Structure 1
């Protein structure tokens, strides 16, 4: 967020109207209502993690032991197990639909 001087960009009539309520103070004007992007959507992090998790699940289904997945992906055993469980549930619900 950056500071802007109202006299540099507001119409004089609006500036005068605002001065009736506040003078010489900093005021925050929020953005218009819009749907906020979810975590990692704008920079691609969400997609990268989803691809990684899919690869972990694929390798697990192909017989790769969990300890090897832990070492390959530098995640805890608990994290690997959570990813596998989530992917398994997702795959099961996709097959039912």
Structure 2
């Protein structure tokens, strides 16, 4: 996160009002909820996991055992079990 000086981006009146509550400290201003992205959306990892889980389910339905899938994907037996039995 890049640091910005309030004097460069905020009106003086607003800075004066903020200084009544917090003076000379670092203040984090979060994005509005509508602008937030879900975990993994920016990096693409969320989509990767969705596709990986679809592939695991496909292989399980085709006859691969949970143990085989756990070894192939380097996941625990319980993780694979959760993936293949979850309702969509």
Give the TM-score taking structure 1 as reference length. 0.67
Q: 2:25 aligns to what? A: 26
1:50 aligns to 2:56 (yes or no):
no
> Does the residue aligned with 2:25 lie in a helix, a strand or coil?
coil
Question: CA shift at 1:7, angstroms?
Answer: 4.1
Gaps of 5+ in 2: none
> Does the residue aligned with 2:75 lie in a helix, a strand or coil?
coil
C-alpha distance in 2 between matches for 1:48 and 1:74? 15
> Does the residue aligned with 1:80 lie in a helix, a strand or coil?
helix
Root-mean-square deviation (CA), in Å? 2.7
Gaps of 5+ in 1: 91-97
Q: 1:93 aligns to what? A: none
Question: CA shift at 1:70, angstroms?
Answer: 1.2
**Aligned residue pair count:** 87
- Which structure has the larger Rg over C-alpha atoms? 1
Give the TM-score taking structure 2 as reference length. 0.73
The range that moved more, 72-81 or 25-34, is: 25-34
CA deviation profile, 1:52-84 (whole Å, cap 9, x unmatched): 110000001001122211111111111110000
